[in-house]
Structure 1
Amino acid sequence: MVTRSDRFLSGLPEDAVYDLAVLGAGAPGLACAAMAARLGCRVLLIERTAHVGGTSAYSAGTLWVPNTRHAQALDADDDVEKAADYLDRTVGNRSPRALRDRFLAAGPDAVAFLEDQAGVRLRARPFHPDYLSDIEGSTHFGRALEPMPFDGRLLGDDFDLVRPPIPEFTILGGMMVDRDDIASLLTMTRSAKAFAHTLKLVGRHAADRLRRSRGTRLVMGNALVGHLLLAARRAGVDIATDARVDRMLATNGTVDGLVVEQGGVTRRIGVTRGVVLASGGFAGNAPMRSRYLPPSVPAFGPGAPGPKGELHAMAMELGGFHGRDAWQPCFWAPCSVNRRADGSLAVFPHFVFDRSKPGTVCVARDGRRFVNESISYHLFGAAMIERDEAGSTIPAFLIADHAAMQKYGLGMVRPGARGLKRYLASGYVVEGRTPRELAERLGIDAANLEQTMAQMKEHAERGVDSEFGRGSTVYQRANGDPSHGPNPTLGALATAPFYAVRLYPCDIGSAQGFVTDADACVLREDGSAVENLYAIGNDMQSIMGGVYPGPGITLGPGIVFGYIAARHAAAKAASDSGSAAAPTTPERQDPQETT
């Protein structure tokens, strides 16, 4: 019988010893733990909160890993040299080329191991372009992998360990939907196939709600976490949730133990082969935020609670240090905020659903545009920060006319304007019968806003945004409305009333982290390694250098370097014992592409 993970330490002997301890149960930590266990290591996974998954559970769950067998199956026009060239052009000297090369070389093997040995199921879409698709070396598909839908019932009692998604991203009281489901929901009255799919989804969810507080059909980030949690459990990983590391122990500079507290129980745990930092980065630590982030960036964000930066302080005491070459210290997304009925703060990231749709525009306090609305969320957030002067672009104002609101929604308001009355009442959405009235209610320049909206009409008619180039790349046009022309991202704001939400630049993950070598070993400033200490995910200095070249560039490298760290630790165990660490053969998972 598996001990409850929130009471795990109470059943652990005083002299417990593990090969590897992984600190943090987001997707990179879960993957590293599962793979290390499959490679023969005895692994303890420690999570500070009550749930596993971290911010990965809130995300789309996409992994950016070039040249896997999924790309080959789609006959993608890609190879290692092309991917390396793309990263050279986009990232450049903001990260070491050697680490990027290691990522590209190990990525296909990491994905194959995750699928063949751990039972995780991934797929690539036939159209999923890189974010900087106008730069040579980019591709339109093949590099972005997403998890297959996962049947949470396979987890048994562990299902409740999976961090639930952001409520505003679910429907019908906890039913998760992905892009395919959304397409069916929007067309179910016009398509028999879409109606049948929707009926199956709703029926499954209704059955789930008789037994659980939310649906067990997991998609996107929740699906990835579900796959990885099942893989970790089947590989024999011990998991302790609601557990805090109080001290990191080292002998002669080699990390060899931890002091962990859980529910009033404290244990000193020996670690022979390594400790892996996978806690989610520095961004939950107030002093580090003050040191690295501009003061205009708000304290709230759409990430999961948990990381407070204590582990970073411990690793720094052992000689580890944060990198300094990243373009941005964090990855950004424009977010809108609203107070829920229970008093909690809902933070909604505006990734792709509204900013690039026709009939929308984003302006600063002067009523003028300052950014191409259809660029990636990271570039959009960076533009808000860099162009902010005395609160001119923070907050910014995303505006939609009535037709766009009905067709695409706006932020937390779903297509069909569902929920609009509630969000108008809370002040999340501001309404105006005319552009001037809307401007007055927002406190922005009315004459400039009227001129901006007139210019948008001209851009839409020509299909060319002469100011900022909106809809000028494959990626940008992909996020528009394919049924709208001549430019799928440009449309006049002509139908009253008009609506707006306030946008703030929020961090969605740390780009600045510990400098490591190509094996994910944490380095000191003199170039020597802190023996037995690894960093992956957002705890590792981003190999993307604070740039965001494509979908999944945090989770992809996080999981690949988790694989690299796991192999390094397992090889160390083999060399110390004088025999090879033989990976066990996993039990194959049941089919999980469910509806």
Structure 2
Amino acid sequence: MTTGGSPAPRGNETENCDILVVGSGAGGLSTAVTAAHRGGKVIVLEKEAVFGGTTAWSGGWMWIPRNLLARQAGIDEDAETIRSYLRANFGSAYDERLIEAFLEAGPQMVSFFQDRTALQFVDGNRIPDMHGDMPGAGTGGRSVCAAPYDGRKLGCAINLLRKPLPETAFFGMGIASGVDLARFMSMTRSLRSAIHVIRRFGRHLLDLAIHGRGMHLVNGNALAARLVRSALDAGVDLRSESRVTGLIRESGRVTGVHVLRKDGTRETIYAKSGVVLASGGFPHDPELRRSLFPHVPTGHEHWSVAPHGNAGDGIRIARTEGAELRRDLVSPGAWVPVSLVPRRDGTLHPFPHFIDRAKPGVIAVRADGRRFVNEADGYHDVLAALLQATPEAEQPQAWLICDHHFLRRYGLGHVRPAPVPIGWHIKAGYLKRAKSLGALARLCGIDPAGLEETVAAYNLGAQSGEDNAFGRGTSAFNRAGGDAQVGPNPCVAPICKPPYYAVRILPGSMGTFAGLRTDAATRVLDAAGDIIPGLHAVGSDMASIMGGTYPAGGINLGPAMTFGFVAGRFLTRDAYSEGSPQ
């Protein structure tokens, strides 16, 4: 067997298809479904035993301005407004070719999947962009999410779908953002919410008994499931436990891959139209993390919530063929603050802090006891602020501080609201508790005087709903993450009811932004800017079109789905016929 970059002998051990996709997240499956609907013979290779990649663990939201559901609701924005917002965020990182391709194909992608596949959407017409003070910022209508899905519709294929991330699921049950989450958060204060929770959890327990997993799928798990169903319906050949070890290149063109299966057998698969890399970026590639993450080379911790199989495979094999890895992005990763949850086997696993930071009555402080950020801002921005505030020689870390009222009403990190018990988290050391702020500070290694002064200053403004230090709750994005039942500011309330609690947060990521340089048709480019024929990249294997910035929720999955759609159309352009998606 020859190595990547060299031709392999054709024989009985070889196989042929039109398009070969490496990876089964949103980008890979979007490519596969689009191409199959246009008549392509498509094979998807997934090295793990389950499909869905990081998508199956995500919130499932996709940032797609001017989408079908927004227009149906009367939200019809001018494209120049979107461009203005992106230019303001990106600065010199703005790539007109990629942005124009995204803005044109994104709405087409939503319409195609909504009309032709099992992927159905719910709108995000009330979800604002993260940077509301920038020109062109939206207050809603730029996001969509996969509608909840009954896993039983997958049949036996449900066993090939990655289960929700244990740290964010409740006994393995996914909870959808929006009304579903609000019901769970208020179950002790509302009879209607309590009935909703009892019904949801009762069905989940029945599903566990019958199927061994939850079958009411929401968020990214619903997106992955609907994409798998769509792929099967379109005749896509889905293959798990199939690791791509190298590319085949003949006469300068990538024509296939070498594959190693779990049983040790090797295959050679030729792809007539092209190979699409969609293996999830490099969040668990130690070498690339040391090379690109600013806080990792000095030995500091970093925890990714992406599956461990996302180890840079696609990027690695592409670089052996001369592909260029973009290193000029504002941030190389999609940052999120995480806390480390001990499992009963003694291992630690990251919990992403998406929703607790914006609720009224919690602040984040460093070891000096001082705040460093508006905690209700976007997760990427909060961690970026922590990295910037931390001296190079120190481990970037902070503590989320709250009182008893906050903890039992909203929870904190992996700690759930009342009536779920908190004793195990305290015993495991995840949750710190003390009767006074000074005692809590000493327990956490925080400067007691600094913490007491910070809370006193925060409480002074919080009495009237103001955050004098960072203006928390003044943006639409802040307020959307707060508690609408708290006034006058849904993001601000005093911290004054003992005992007090703390959870430590560390640098984490949902995935990576740095990726392979491509053109607007997803074709991979080399260091000279020339196309590598037959090789494409989508999802996190493709460098983020957002330039390493994070202007809105869903800026990973939105482009992944869109450029998967672009790749699927491009690779089947000769197969176009009346009725195919355009």
Q: TM-score, normalised by structure 1?
A: 0.92
After the TM superposition, which of the residue ranges 460-469 and 129-138 deviates more from structure 2? 460-469
C-alpha deviation, 1:188, in angstroms: 4.9
Counterpart selection for 2:344 from 341, 346, 355: 341
C-alpha deviation, 1:298, in angstroms: 2.2
Partner Cα distance (2:428, 2:87) in 1 = 46
Deviations, residues 369-389 of structure 1 (Å, cap 9, x unaligned):
111111100001111111111
C-alpha deviation, 1:84, in angstroms: 1.2
Match of 1:592 in 2: none
Cα pair 1:80 1:105 within 8 Å, conserved: no
1:421-432 map, 5 Å: 421-432=423-434
Partner Cα distance (2:553, 2:337) in 1 = 16
Match of 1:294 in 2: 294
Match of 2:77 in 1: 78
After the TM superposition, which of the residue ranges 303-312 and 511-520 deviates more from structure 2? 303-312
* 1:189–1:499 Cα change, 3 Å: closer
Match of 1:332 in 2: 335
Deviations, residues 485-523 of structure 1 (Å, cap 9, x unaligned):
222111111000100011011121111111111101011
Match of 2:140 in 1: 141
2:308 pairs with 1:305:
yes
Q: Size of the alignment, in residue pairs?
A: 566
Cα pair 1:174 1:213 within 8 Å, conserved: no
Match of 2:250 in 1: 251
Match of 2:176 in 1: 178
After the TM superposition, which of the residue ranges 509-518 and 77-86 deviates more from structure 2? 77-86
C-alpha deviation, 1:193, in angstroms: 4.6
Tell me the secondary structure at the aligned position of residue 90 of structure 1: helix
Counterpart selection for 1:454 from 456, 470, 491: 456
Deviations, residues 135-178 of structure 1 (Å, cap 9, x unaligned):
1211111111011100100111110111111223222x322221
* 1:274–1:378 Cα change, 3 Å: same
Partner Cα distance (2:423, 2:218) in 1 = 29
Cα pair 1:362 1:369 within 8 Å, conserved: yes
Match of 1:593 in 2: none
Deviations, residues 557-585 of structure 1 (Å, cap 9, x unaligned):
011000101111001x43xxxxx456779
C-alpha deviation, 1:555, in angstroms: 0.3
Partner Cα distance (1:202, 1:48) in 2 = 33
Structure 1 counterpart of 2:318, one-letter code: A
Tell me the secondary structure at the aligned position of residue 455 of structure 2: helix
Partner Cα distance (2:387, 2:189) in 1 = 43
1:491-510 map, 5 Å: 491-510=493-512
Match of 2:467 in 1: 465
Partner Cα distance (2:140, 2:367) in 1 = 38
Cα pair 2:125 2:143 within 8 Å, conserved: no
* 1:19–1:267 Cα change, 3 Å: same
After the TM superposition, which of the residue ranges 126-135 and 40-49 deviates more from structure 2? 126-135
Structure 2 counterpart of 1:105, one-letter code: E
* 1:497–1:188 Cα change, 3 Å: closer
Partner Cα distance (1:188, 1:367) in 2 = 33
1:219-368 map, 5 Å: 219-262=218-261, 263-296=263-296, 298-352=301-355, 354-368=356-370
2:481 pairs with 1:482:
no
Partner Cα distance (1:19, 1:558) in 2 = 21
C-alpha deviation, 1:240, in angstroms: 1.2
Structure 1 regions of 5+ residues with no counterpart?
A: 1-11, 575-579, 586-595
* 1:503–1:457 Cα change, 3 Å: same
Tell me the secondary structure at the aligned position of residue 320 of structure 1: coil
Partner Cα distance (1:583, 1:336) in 2 = 49
Partner Cα distance (2:466, 2:176) in 1 = 31
C-alpha deviation, 1:39, in angstroms: 1.0
Tell me the secondary structure at the aligned position of residue 162 of structure 2: coil
* 1:190–1:479 Cα change, 3 Å: closer
Partner Cα distance (2:198, 2:346) in 1 = 33
Partner Cα distance (1:558, 1:516) in 2 = 13
* 1:195–1:423 Cα change, 3 Å: closer
Match of 2:6 in 1: none
Cα RMSD over matched residues?
A: 1.8
Cα pair 1:40 1:582 within 8 Å, conserved: no
Q: TM-score, normalised by structure 2?
A: 0.94
Tell me the secondary structure at the aligned position of residue 198 of structure 1: helix
Match of 1:386 in 2: 388
Match of 1:9 in 2: none
Partner Cα distance (1:461, 1:197) in 2 = 33
After the TM superposition, which of the residue ranges 229-238 and 82-91 deviates more from structure 2? 82-91
C-alpha deviation, 1:424, in angstroms: 0.3
Tell me the secondary structure at the aligned position of residue 202 of structure 1: helix
Tell me the secondary structure at the aligned position of residue 32 of structure 2: helix
